[in-house]
Amino acid sequence: MIVEIGHFALVLALAAALAQTVVPFWGARVGDLGMMDVGRNAALIQLALIAIAFAALVNAHLTSDFSVLNVAENSNVAMPAIYKISGVWGNHEGSMLLWVFILAIFGALVALFGRALPRKLRADALAVQGLISVAFLAFILLTSNPFERLSPAPFEGRDLNPILQDPGLAIHPPLLYLGYVGFSIVYSFAAAALIEGRIDAAWARFVRPFTLVAWSFLTLGIAAGSFWAYYTLGWGGFWFWDPVENASLMPWLAGTAFVHSVAVMEKRDALKIWTIFLAILAFSFSLLGTFLVRSGVLTSVHAFANDPRRGVFILAILAMFICGSFALFAWRAPMLKQGGLFAPVSREGALVVNNLLLTTACATVLFGTLYPLALEQLTGEKITVGAPFFNLTCGALLLTACFAAPFGFSLAWKRGDLLGVVQRLAFAIIVGAVTAVVAVAWLSGGPIFAPLAMGLGVFVIIGTVIEVVMRSWRPGLTAGVALKRTFGLPLSFFGAALAHLGLGVTLLGLSGLGFGAETIATLHKGVPAIVGPYAVTLDSVGERVGPNYKESIASVTVRSGDTVVAQIEPARRQFAAREMSTTQAGLKTLHFGQIYVSIADPAADGSVPARLYWKPLVTLIWLGGAAMALGGGLSLADRRLRFGVATRAKAGASALAQPAQ
Amino acid sequence: MIMRWLGLLPLVLRSPRRGRLEGRSRAGARWTALRDAPPAAPLLRTRSWRLTIALLGALLASLAAPALAVQPDEVMKDPALETRARTLSGELRCLVCQNESIDDSEAPLARDIRILIRERIGKGESNDAVRAYLVSRYGDFILLKPPFKLETWLLWLSPALTLGLGVAAALYARRRAPRATPRLSAEEEAQLAALTNGDASSG
């Protein structure tokens, strides 16, 4: 019964979304305020209905109701409760439901906190948001219904894919979706602005909080996914240029460009058309990512035959929103008034360079991902575009963008003094260059990437710190005054500084790749295997039984010289329900590096084939990502940029004024 | 051995979800698994699928389950040659996996190619010769980094073309925008002069 309520709520949500699309849009055209406000209520009702549907599905998974097809195929009685819940979105239907759930949350946020917005803009934005909901709700109901029943119900479910039975599944997809879907708001606002034919700094101010939320979550989501891959896939890689990863990287690159250009628009009223273009682009890539992932077109060109309705449906949605918005853009953008002039050498100019490099990197990822598909369709020739291609092309573009970052951060708005900036950054440039040279000498030959990334990382970190100090301190100022001035700086400045620091930290983490060590060996009891500066010795091999798996565990001791630095237990898990096994790497963090041990199934004589890694600085990759996201959060907390501050201030002012009258 | 695998290759390549079937953790499998939720059950309805799965199952069972990519017994005695082999295997695609190098893959076919590379390097062949041999056998598909040729020049030049397009658009936008500070007309100059003169005399 609860399941049917969930299904019914989803149908009602579709109706609410339809109302949210049609009524406010029509109201905005005829100038009917009542009709415009319908959008607000419809968005809230839609959220409530989708929340009911989502709760119903979570309930079905938690209670292991195997009469529901989705539960029977992706759950199991023996699974721990956390995986029963995260299993809700560990499958196609459930993850689409999560997608629309988050979409509705964002719509409701606009409805609730959008009182400061111009009525018409809000109505139009909610209408576009509603249209996205309509498309995806229809997709779920028509092709991917998570509430489909199964009769007769089996006694036991088929279990969740063991690779997904990991805390990572509870964290990674929701964060990623918050990012992906968060850009829908930006898209809706861009479309609304184009429909109205007016866009200004106020628009940028409304959109900025949503942008920062989406971007920060997307950053966290990608970092979390990368860390998950790192410890589950058994060989310590953290980024594979896998098409599905690329699908999440493209919105991130476009979104990062957008975060920068919307700052220009907000502060200087410049780059309007470009900003709108990026807003459309960021969400278009989110949609494209959803299409590539959900249709399975990337797994195989035959995926359409596999379930043609799904692929074609999403392709239609994709075409409608991307083509529709770009058509609107082509028609309306020339009418937008340009404002905010700036010299080529200025912060605006630097941000244009940043935008060009990021969008080019984004386009390269797009080309690299789709080119093999297109080539095979056109000529029948199969080629592979893999990591070496992306490392070379995107690597060069993104490293250049990193190099430009401290310059842009230090340049003044409107008209900058490049020579002055170079002088200010001289210390950072010198230290960075020396670091790179020392690293080259240390590695004596190796690939150039590691020293380059290390030098750049040092340059970005020091350069950012210099800028923060220069903002608050001049020669002659006492420490007290400097400190006071530091606290006087806006939070959004610190947010940007932290994000740039995070970038530098991630670069340092990446550079650690060049300094690591790897050993492939069969471990015998008591015989140490050397990896980098450490010796790894196998102590014992044992078995353990988990809730729905058996695991073989190898206990190993890591020594540096004669001192024991760690005891770790890498394992292999066998899952009976799907006859699959997974690798649980043994990890020990030492400073910022990690010792990483992954094993194969132990042999009969008690020896264990293993891969041992020493990965210096590796944790910095994700810590840097977290710092970037935190920077976005700090920026969001800036009082001036909070949503609806203007109205509250006005209300407060009038309340104060009244007694005087 | 290799021929046995090759015979099966078309079959494996035809299966839309080949990446997951072998049921081992692999690069991208997490994402793959996230994406293709419906498990094999509905797929089993089709005959070719049953065949593929049965064959793959049999193949897997026939081998001692490999659970690591590069196995200790594959490693060459000479570290210099092993480094060369590792470099080469990092550039080659595992033909039955999704976007994964044979260096990282656990698939039996990848293992066979790794061993083949080491045999040939051990016999004194250069990396280029081994690569050329594999390309002649499997086509460019096996190279993770596509060669620059007629079919791929657009791919390789796409970053430069995009950047060029972007720069051109930026320059065009700049040219179209009004001059930053239009020069003062003679009349305005005179007014300014009058004002500043007045200022000077009063001051």
pLDDT tens digits, A264-290: 888 887 788 888 999 999 999 998 888
Would B148 be classed as within a structural domain? no
Which of B28, B145, B177 lies at the smallest CB-CB distance from A341?
B177
Query: What token pair was written down for B135?
Result: 């390309």
State how far Cα B190 lies from the chain centre. 66
Which residues 495-534 in chain A show a CB within 8 A of chain B? 520-522
CB A283 within 8 A of CB A183: yes
Query: What token pair was written down for A25?
Result: 């849009």
Q: Any CB–CB contact under 8 A between A73 and chain B?
A: yes
Write out the DSSP string of A298-349.
Answer: TT-TTHHHHSHHHHHHHHHHHHHHHHHHHHHHHHHGGGSPP-----SSSHHH
Which residues 439-498 in chain A show a CB within 8 A of chain B? none
CB A578 within 8 A of CB A161: yes
Which of B25, B99, B163 lies at the smallest CB-CB distance from A582?
B25
* Mutation site for B-interface testing, chosen from A239, A240, A354 by largest number of B Cβ within 10 Å: A240
Å between A342 CA and nearest CA of chain B: 7
Q: Does residue B13 have a pLDDT over 80?
A: no
- pLDDT, position B68: 61
Å between A296 CA and nearest CA of chain B: 7
CB A70 within 8 A of CB A153: no
Q: pLDDT tier at B79 (50, 70, 90 boundaries)? A: confident
Q: Does residue A140 have a pLDDT over 90?
A: yes
For residues B133 and B157, membership in a common domain is answered with: no
**Interchain contact, B30 vs A163, CB within 8 Å:** yes
- pLDDT, position B1: 33
Rg (CA), chain B: 31
Q: Any CB–CB contact under 8 A between B172 and chain A?
A: no
Give residue for tokens 């200025």: A346
* Closest chain A residue to the Cα of B79, Cα to Cα: A519
Return left, alpha or beta for A354; rule: phi > 0 is left, psi -120 to 50 is alpha, else beta. alpha
Tens digit of pLDDT for each residue in A193-233? 999 888 888 888 888 889 999 999 999 999 999 998 888 87
Tens digit of pLDDT for each residue in A339-389? 767 888 888 888 889 999 999 999 999 999 889 888 888 888 888 888 889
Q: Any CB–CB contact under 8 A between A383 and chain B?
A: yes
Lowest-confidence range among A326-340, A442-456, B176-190? Answer: B176-190
CB A155 within 8 A of CB A74: no
Tens digit of pLDDT for each residue in A413-461? 888 888 888 888 999 999 999 999 998 888 876 778 889 999 999 999 9
For residues B135 and B169, membership in a common domain is answered with: no
State how far Cα A316 lies from the chain centre. 25
Q: Does residue B203 have a pLDDT over 50?
A: no
Which of A317, A92, A346 has the alpha carbon at shortest distance from B31? A92
For residues B89 and B188, membership in a common domain is answered with: no
- pLDDT, position A295: 67
Beta-bridged to residue A581, according to DSSP, are A574, B24
Which of B75, B142, B158 lies at the smallest CB-CB distance from A364?
B158
- pLDDT, position A603: 84
What residues of A are in contact with residue B146 (Cβ under 8 Å)?
383-385, 389
Q: Does residue A25 have a pLDDT over 90?
A: yes
What residues of B are in contact with residue A343 (Cβ under 8 Å)?
180
Q: What is the mean pLDDT of residues A508-531?
A: 88
For residues B165 and B97, membership in a common domain is answered with: no
Which of A58, A54, A49, A47 has the alpha carbon at shortest distance from A98? A54
Which of A379, A382, A580 lies at the smallest CB-CB distance from B23?
A580
**Interchain contact, B100 vs A240, CB within 8 Å:** yes
- pLDDT, position B36: 39
**Interchain contact, A306 vs B16, CB within 8 Å:** yes
Å between A468 CA and nearest CA of chain B: 30
For residues B64 and B11, membership in a common domain is answered with: yes
- pLDDT, position B11: 32
For residues B131 and B59, membership in a common domain is answered with: yes
Q: Does residue B27 have a pLDDT over 70?
A: no
Tens digit of pLDDT for each residue in B82-134? 888 888 888 898 888 777 788 888 788 888 898 899 989 888 888 899 999 99
What residues of B are in contact with residue A399 (Cβ under 8 Å)?
none
What residues of A are in contact with residue B37 (Cβ under 8 Å)?
73-74, 90-95
**Interchain contact, B145 vs A388, CB within 8 Å:** yes
For residues B164 and B127, membership in a common domain is answered with: no
State how far the Cα of B162 lies from the Cα of B168, in Å rounded to an integer.
Answer: 10
* Mutation site for B-interface testing, chosen from A180, A231, A299, A583 by largest number of B Cβ within 10 Å: A299
Q: What is the mean pLDDT of residues A609-625?
A: 92
What residues of A are in contact with residue B73 (Cβ under 8 Å)?
522
Q: Does residue B176 have a pLDDT over 50?
A: yes
* Closest chain B residue to the Cα of A364, Cα to Cα: B159
**Interchain contact, A228 vs B30, CB within 8 Å:** yes
Q: Any CB–CB contact under 8 A between A184 and chain B?
A: no
Q: Which amino acid is at A622?
A: W
* Of B197 and A121, more confident: A121
* Mutation site for A-interface testing, chosen from B17, B102, B156, B163 by largest number of A Cβ within 10 Å: B163
- State the total domains in chain B: 2
- pLDDT, position B59: 38
Chain-wide mean pLDDT for chain A?
A: 87
Which of A296, A300, A383 lies at the smallest CB-CB distance from B140?
A383
Which of B98, B142, B158 lies at the smallest CB-CB distance from A299?
B98
State how far the Cα of A629 lies from the Cα of A226, in Å rounded to an integer.
Answer: 15
- pLDDT, position A299: 56
Q: What angle do CA A438, B86, B124 make, to 5 degrees?
A: 110
- pLDDT, position A184: 93
- pLDDT, position A234: 65
Q: What is the mean pLDDT of residues A165-185?
A: 90
SS3 for A567?
strand
DSSP A568: E
For residues B170 and B129, membership in a common domain is answered with: no
* Mutation site for B-interface testing, chosen from A242, A309, A376 by largest number of B Cβ within 10 Å: A242
Which of A392, A382, A468 has the alpha carbon at shortest distance from A425? A468
For residues B57 and B96, membership in a common domain is answered with: yes
Q: What is the mean pLDDT of residues B28-32?
A: 39
Q: Does residue A650 have a pLDDT over 60?
A: no
- pLDDT, position A643: 52
What residues of A are in contact with residue B67 (Cβ under 8 Å)?
234, 572, 581, 583, 599-601, 609
- pLDDT, position A403: 93
* Of A186 and B44, more confident: A186
State how far the Cα of A429 lies from the Cα of A423, in Å rounded to an integer.
Answer: 9
Q: What is the mean pLDDT of residues B39-48?
A: 37
Å between A341 CA and nearest CA of chain B: 6
Which of B107, B105, B19 has the alpha carbon at shortest distance from B59? B107
Number of Cβ within a 10 Å radius of residue A318: 18
Would B147 be classed as within a structural domain? no
Specify burial of residue A622 (Cβ count, 10 A radius: 0-12, 13-18, 19+). buried
- pLDDT, position B51: 40
Q: Does residue A188 have a pLDDT over 90?
A: yes
**Interchain contact, B140 vs A384, CB within 8 Å:** yes
Å between A242 CA and nearest CA of chain B: 6
- pLDDT, position A308: 64
Tens digit of pLDDT for each residue in A573-593? 888 877 888 888 888 898 889
Read off the CATH number of the domain in which B129 is found.
Answer: 1.10.8.640
State how far the Cα of A45 lies from the Cα of A60, in Å rounded to an integer.
Answer: 23
- pLDDT, position A487: 84
Tens digit of pLDDT for each residue in A65-90? 999 999 998 888 888 899 999 989 88
Q: pLDDT tier at A297 (50, 70, 90 boundaries)? A: low
What residues of A are in contact with residue B15 (Cβ under 8 Å)?
300
Å between A367 CA and nearest CA of chain B: 7
**Interchain contact, A90 vs B174, CB within 8 Å:** no
Look up the ipTM and state it: 0.82
Helix ranges, A512-644 (H) = 619-637
* Closest chain A residue to the Cα of B37, Cα to Cα: A91
DSSP A505: H
CB A459 within 8 A of CB A403: yes
Å between A158 CA and nearest CA of chain B: 9
What are the structural domain ranges in chain A?
A: 1-165, 183-413, 425-514+621-637, 517-615
Lowest-confidence range among A52-56, A303-307, A550-554, B154-158? Answer: A303-307
**Interchain contact, A382 vs B139, CB within 8 Å:** yes
Q: Which CATH architecture has domain A1-165?
A: Up-down Bundle (1.20)
- pLDDT, position B101: 84
What is the CB-side half-sphere exposure of residue A254 using CA atoms within 13 A?
31
Å between A173 CA and nearest CA of chain B: 9
What is the CB-side half-sphere exposure of residue A12 using CA atoms within 13 A?
17
Q: Does residue A557 have a pLDDT over 80?
A: yes
Sign of torsion over alpha carbons B135, B138, B142, B146: positive
* Closest chain B residue to the Cα of A232, Cα to Cα: B25
- pLDDT, position A296: 64
Lowest-confidence range among A63-72, A336-345, A461-470, A471-480? Answer: A336-345
For residues B40 and B119, membership in a common domain is answered with: yes
What residues of A are in contact with residue B99 (Cβ under 8 Å)?
240-243, 384, 386
State how far the Cα of A66 lies from the Cα of A83, in Å rounded to an integer.
Answer: 16
For residues B69 and B35, membership in a common domain is answered with: yes
Instruction: Give the domain extent around B167.
Output: 153-202
Q: Any CB–CB contact under 8 A between B114 and chain A?
A: no
CB B76 within 8 A of CB B85: yes
Q: Any CB–CB contact under 8 A between B100 and chain A?
A: yes
Q: Any CB–CB contact under 8 A between B178 and chain A?
A: yes
Å between A262 CA and nearest CA of chain B: 17
Would B28 be classed as within a structural domain? yes
CB A586 within 8 A of CB A597: yes
Which residues 410-439 in chain A show a CB within 8 A of chain B? none
Beta carbons within 8 Å of A255's beta carbon, 6+ residues apart: A179, A183, A211, A214, A215, A218, A282
